[in-house]
């Protein structure tokens, strides 16, 4: 089957923030002009992690990156390439000609002003533009994007998420910070106190917001969504094993979501996580948090 022509955005796209959005919007525009498929090329893991051997924590899982690019920007093909030794040692020219053009049918490439690629990061925007011109490909290099006088970057947004400032993070992301996972069985303490929650495991190497309680919005597979109250942390009142979990109570929802994939969007941090002396005290505080969530959504 012949490869359809593609316009490909290049980057890692952690967070899929406003800066990435500028690349992705240009990609969709060029694809429409050329009758091509708007695509994005990224890696399944951070190259820096493979090269250095040190864990790199990310804003999103690979699945969330893919979903955000498709849902928010209309990217129709996300190429999630494995960053292995063959990729790490591929020369910058081969990356363009053999991979992007021959394998994935690129007719136009879009990259950021600081994009580096190929063995030892020898490829840069200038080399990309020159090679595209030589091959008869189109090429757009997108300048840096600023918000509130600050360059939009995954590194800065990650610090905001990690300190729990999800409202400012949303300004730089262009959307609410989110976590999508399949609902798993917890210890059912929520059922015991009459406030059942959905439990999400945190993917490996993904940063979670600073431990605490958040107002959230939960999107279900059927397209509906509900306001929620989300606890991120170790549940010190009911657990001593130190495992970090993300537990959300959905306001006004009655149903079973076990085994279904849901998306939790973090709207505002309410308070620190804390240990209560009894389940009754915990329940009373959760009801106060629910009242805060209702007030937030009545205004937003």
CATH number at residue 130: 3.40.50.620
- pTM for this model (two decimals): 0.92
- Domain match, 23 and 123 both: yes
Whether 96 and 82 have beta carbons less than 8 Å apart is answered as: no
DSSP H or E stretch at residue 146: strand 146-147
**Which residues of the chain are modeled with pLDDT < 50?**
192-193
Q: What pLDDT score does 188 carry?
A: 53
List, for residues 84-110, the tens digit of each pLDDT value: 999 999 999 999 999 999 999 999 999
Q: What pLDDT score does 280 carry?
A: 86
Number of domains in the chain: 2
Beta-carbon contacts of residue 13 (< 8 Å; ≥ 6 apart): 20, 40, 42, 65, 69
- Domain match, 125 and 209 both: no
Which of these, 6, 2, 3, 4, lies nearest to 109 by C-alpha position? 6
Which of these, 154, 149, 200, lies nearest to 173 by C-alpha position? 154
Task: Say if strands 77-81 and 37-43 run parallel, antiparallel, or are unpaired.
Answer: parallel
Q: What pLDDT score does 100 carry?
A: 98
- Domain presence at residue 166: no
- Domain match, 265 and 197 both: yes
Q: What pLDDT score does 279 carry?
A: 83
Backbone phi, psi, residue 299, to 5°? -100, -20
- Domain presence at residue 220: yes
List, for residues 123-151, the tens digit of each pLDDT value: 999 999 999 999 999 999 999 999 999 99
- Domain match, 139 and 198 both: no
Q: What pLDDT score does 186 carry?
A: 63
Q: What pLDDT score does 193 carry?
A: 47
Whether 125 and 142 have beta carbons less than 8 Å apart is answered as: no
- Domain match, 284 and 210 both: yes
- Domain presence at residue 156: no
Which of these, 64, 37, 300, lies nearest to 177 by C-alpha position? 64
226 forms beta bridges with 218
Task: Provide the b/e sequence for 137-174 (b: ≥16 CB within 10 Å).
Answer: bbbbbbeebebeeeebbbebbbebbeebbbeebbbbbb
- Domain match, 84 and 207 both: no
Q: Supply the range of the domain harboring residue 99.
A: 6-151
Query: Domain boundary at 109, 133, 151, which?
Result: 151
- Domain presence at residue 113: yes
Q: What pLDDT score does 255 carry?
A: 86
3-state secondary structure of 199: strand
């Amino acid at each position: 089957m012949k490869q359809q022509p593609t316009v490909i955005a290049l980057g890692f796209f952690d967070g899929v923030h406003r800066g990435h959005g500028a690349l992705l919007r240009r990609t969709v525009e060029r694809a429409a002009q050329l009758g091509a498929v708007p695509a994005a090329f990224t890696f399944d893991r951070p190259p820096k992690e493979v090269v250095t051997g040190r864990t790199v924590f990310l804003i999103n899982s690979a699945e969330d990156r893919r979903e955000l690019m498709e849902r928010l920007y209309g990217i129709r093909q996300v190429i999630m390439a494995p960053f292995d030794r063959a990729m790490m040692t591929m020369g910058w020219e081969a990356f363009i000609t053999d991979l992007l053009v021959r394998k994935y049918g690129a007719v136009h490439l879009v990259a950021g002003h600081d994009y580096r690629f190929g063995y030892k990061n020898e490829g840069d925007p200038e080399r990309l533009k020159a090679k595209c011109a030589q091959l008869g490909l189109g090429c757009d290099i997108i300048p840096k994007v600023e918000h509130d006088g600050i360059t939009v970057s995954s590194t800065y947004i990650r610090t905001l998420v990690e300190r729990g400032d999800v409202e400012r993070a949303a300004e730089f992301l262009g959307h609410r910070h989110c976590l999508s996972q399949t609902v798993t069985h917890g210890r059912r303490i929520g059922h015991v106190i009459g406030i059942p929650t959905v439990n999400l495991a945190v993917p490996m190497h993904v940063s979670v917001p600073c431990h605490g309680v958040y107002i959230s919005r939960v999107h279900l597979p059927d397209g509906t969504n509900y306001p929620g109250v989300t606890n991120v942390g170790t549940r010190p009142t009911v657990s001593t094993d130190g495992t970090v979990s993300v537990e959300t109570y959905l306001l006004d929802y009655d149903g079973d979501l076990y085994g279904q994939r849901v998306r939790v969007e973090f709207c505002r941090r309410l308070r620190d996580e804390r240990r209560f002396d009894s389940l009754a005290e915990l329940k009373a505080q959760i009801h106060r948090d629910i009242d805060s969530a209702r007030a937030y959504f009545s205004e937003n």
